[in-house]
Amino acid sequence: MAFFRDTDQFYLCTQALLSRIQKEDPGAADAILASHLIIRLQSTDPEAEITINGRKRPVQVTYGPAGLRPTLNIELTADTLHGIMLGQLSLKKALADGRLKVRGPVWKTQALADLLTQGRDIYPRILQEQGLAPAGAAI
């Protein structure tokens, strides 16, 4: 059974996470800006599309189709992203076993990895605030 019940719940959680990362660490997206990346995350289960545009300052994030051609297109399930954000699954392992598929220059995924690293400390709090995890639970 998928962790997120639908696309709206996935978007709300992801939006809260990215907003909190920006608030707590305004420089977290600097690597994406420096590399001028447009990153599209396409998830399944639920179906969702998130585009991170690092060609404009501040970084712009679109939830749903953005109409931009991505530099990096990353395909994964929402549960795979959930596991990565909880630190239960590494990016390298997800890439190696095919749970994460990248089209574009794979070496540029490091810019996204930096942002995800910032989010790992915040993500469990977001889940609790969104009512997706009991308070004090080890997620």
Residue 17 confidence (pLDDT): 95
Torsion (CA) 16, 36, 7, 123 in degrees, nearest 10: -30
- Per-residue pLDDT of 36-66, as tens digits, reads 999 999 999 999 999 999 998 889 999 999 9
Residue 108 confidence (pLDDT): 79
Q: Which domains does the chain show, CATH number per domain?
A: 7-128 (3.30.1050.10)
Q: In what order do the strands lie in the sheet with 100-103?
A: 60-63, 48-53, 38-44, 72-77, 100-103
Q: How far is CA 110 from the centre of its chain?
A: 13
Q: How large a percentage of the chain has pLDDT more than 90? A: 67
